Structure 1
Amino acid sequence: MTPFYQLTATRLDGQLISMNDYAGKVVLVVNTASHCGFTPQYAGLEALYSQYAAQGLVVLGFPCNQFGKQEPGGVDDISQTCHINYGVSFPIFEKVEVNGSASHPVFRYLKKALPGVLGGRIKWNFTKFMIGRDGKPLKRFAPYTTPEKMDAEILAALNR
C-alpha cells in the first residue's frame, strides 16, 4: 500500500476518512479558503468533479486559514460557502494547517513527494496535488492554475 493510502483525515461532518477509500481513483487534493481571490475556483473544481467522477476522479477540499486568514469561520461558515454558495458536492474536510509543525499529514506527505517552487512549503490557497489511481503523487498545480486548465492532465491520469 502506498503511503498516501495509509493517511486519514476528518471530514467537515466529523467522520474520519481513510485515503485508502479512494484507492483506484485519481485524487485531486486542494487547500481551500472561503475569502480568497481564488475562492471562485470552487465552481471549477465542482465542474471537474461532476464531469469526471464517474470515470474515477475525486476532489478533496481542505480548508486552511494560514494564508491571509482567509478561512476564519467554523464548520457552518465553511459549509455555507462550499455547499450553498458554490454547490460543492465533493468531500470537504475539517480546517487544517498545510505548513509548519502542525501541518496535516496529508500535506506533509504531498509536499515531500512534490516539493514545488518553495521546496517543502505551500505558497497560497488553492494549491492542488493530483494523485494517480495507484496512490502515487503525479503533479502539483499552482494556485493560479484554474481547474479548467487542468482538464487535459486529469483526463490523461484517468486514462492511465
Structure 2
Amino acid sequence: SWDRLASAVSLNGGLGIISSVGTGYYEERKYASKELNAKPYGSENFYSRKGLQALINNARKVCGDAPLGCNILCASNDYARIARDACEVGFNVIVSGAGLPTNLPEFTVDFPDVALVPIISSAKALKIICKRWQSRYNRLPDAVVLEGPKSGGHQGFT
C-alpha cells in the first residue's frame, strides 16, 4: 500500500507498510526524472527515492510519529540502494521478502534502530537468515512474517 492506507493503519495502532515498488509512479510520475512510453525508466526512477520520501512525508502528516514500515522485495533491482533509501527517509521498519534478505543488515548498518523483518516461508529459511545475520552482522531479525504455501501474492496462489 501507499501513504493513505499505511498512515491510517499506523494512526490506529497497527503497523502501516508502504511499498517501495513503483514509487516513480507516485503523484502521476512526479518523482521520475526519466520516462519511456509514459513509464518511469530505469531502476532509479521506478524505485524513486524522491517518491519514497514523498510517500513517508504524506503518511507522517496523518499518523505523526507512529511507526511506519517499508516493504522491499529482495528481487528488486538496486535492493541495497532501496534499503538505504528507506532508512534515510525515516522508516522505522523494513519488511523484506520475495527472496531471502540475507544481506539486509549490511545495507542498513548505519541505522541500528530500524527494525528488520524478513518474510519467510519455512523454519529452514529462518535458520539460514538467523545464522547468517548473527555470524556476519551480529544481528537477528526483530520480527518475522511467516507465509504459508497458500499465502498468495508473489507465490501465485489466490
What range describes the TM-score normalised by the shorter chain of this pair? 0.3 to 0.5
Structure possessing the higher relative contact order (Cα contacts under 8 Å, 6 or more residues apart): 1
The structure number with the bigger radius of gyration is: 2
Please report the TM-score for the alignment, with normalisation by the length of structure 2.
0.35
Please report the TM-score for the alignment, with normalisation by the length of structure 1.
0.35
